[in-house]
Amino acid sequence: MENAVVECNNLYKKIGKKTILNNVSLQVCKGDIVGFIGPNGAGKTTTIKLITGLQKITSGTVKINNYDIQKDFTKAIEKVGAIVESPDLYMYLSGYDNLKMIAKLYNNVNKSRIDEVVKIVGLENRINDKVSKYSLGMRQRLGIAQAILHKPNILILDEPNNGLDPEGIKEVRELLIKLAREEGMAVLISSHNLSELETFCNKVIIIQNGEIVETSTIKDLKADIKGNSYIIELNDTKKAIKIIKNAKIINKENIQIECEKNDIPIIIKKLVEADINIYRLEEEKISLESAFLKKTGGNKIG
């Protein structure tokens, strides 16, 4: 695929006789922020570990920047930044000293690059403080700083918002958007927080029982799932559902109907003729979480 930074084809992972991943194929392209979602035990973390070389592939291929992770690991992993589970930080050192230690692992990371990354993640005012004094959001930003020191073009994050308060979640979100837009970085992010992913991801991959069941933009996923559903606010819901077929009461002021757009004027006319006051009519907005639950047959994400 053009601009594919990560490309997985027909991945299988077996442990003993148990199949963990079954024919998983996915792509992550330059500038994309892809939400990788699925129920507990669906295979998200296993997939990420195969991509990053932390587990052995049973069969199939992973290519990063066109290098095969099994045949040319060093070249494949060269431009990868990742945080799997939680960042490894030395709490008794300053944020800057943590970055200096990671910088020694690479040949091309100098003081100028460290300073640049500190600015990118917005830690200029606290970088010389001990990490033990950082909030969880600051620690996560420092972890991302470590992951991007060597100028990767793909950032892979497994549950980066675990334990973060709303402010910390906002900090991570804004940073990822900045990296995708300004650095052209591809981002693959696994998370259970679907309402948060919906605010900044442009694509989504759904995995269930070790198989990919959906790969699309969030917009297309929601459009495919929702159908034509409308909410009408009025003054007599009980009377309204006797007049309108397939209508159901949501609360004492609102009903929901599923119909074609062209039927809306007819429905309104019937309600008005029945002396029902209509205050509002709008197309129902489906959330990513609702679309996920419908796509997976109601499996909870957790």
- How would DSSP label each residue in the chain? -TTEEEEEEEEEEEETTEEEEEEEEEEEETT-EEEEE-STTSSHHHHHHHHTTSS--SEEEEEETTEETTT-HHHHHTTEEEEESS----TTSBHHHHHHHHHTT-SS--HHHHHHHHHHTT-TTTTTSBGGGS-HHHHHHHHHHHHHTT--SEEEEESTTTT--HHHHHHHHHHHHHHHHHS--EEEEE-S-HHHHHHH-SEEEEEETTEEEEEEEHHHHHHHHH-SEEEEEES-HHHHHHHSTT-EEEETTEEEEE--GGGHHHHHHHHHHTT--EEEEEEPPPPHHHHHHHHTTSPPP-
**pLDDT tens digits, the chain, 302 residues: what are they?**
568 999 999 999 999 999 999 999 999 999 899 999 998 889 999 999 999 999 999 999 999 999 999 999 999 999 999 988 778 899 999 999 999 999 998 888 999 999 999 999 999 999 999 999 999 889 989 999 999 999 999 999 998 887 788 888 888 899 899 989 888 899 999 988 888 999 999 999 999 999 999 999 988 887 777 667 888 999 999 999 988 888 888 888 998 888 888 888 999 999 999 999 999 998 877 788 888 888 887 655 55
Question: What pLDDT does 56 receive?
Answer: 95
> Full-prediction pTM beyond 0.85?
no
CATH number of 4-223: 3.40.50.300
Q: Domain locations in the chain?
A: 4-223, 227-289
Contact present, 35 and 287 (Cβ < 8 Å):
no
Return the pLDDT at 85.
Answer: 73
Q: Indicate the residue type of 280.
A: R
In angstroms, the CA 218 to CA 204 distance is: 6
d(CA 68, CA 131): 36
Residue 270 to residue 258: CA distance in whole angstroms: 16
What is residue 187's predicted lDDT score, i.e. its pLDDT? 95
- What is the pLDDT at residue 229? 80
pLDDT score of 227: 62
Amino acid at 284: E
- Looking at the domain 227-289, which fold is it? Alpha-Beta Plaits (3.30.70)
How far apart (Å, rounded) are the C-alpha atoms in residues 249 and 172? Answer: 39
pLDDT at 301 (0 to 100): 57
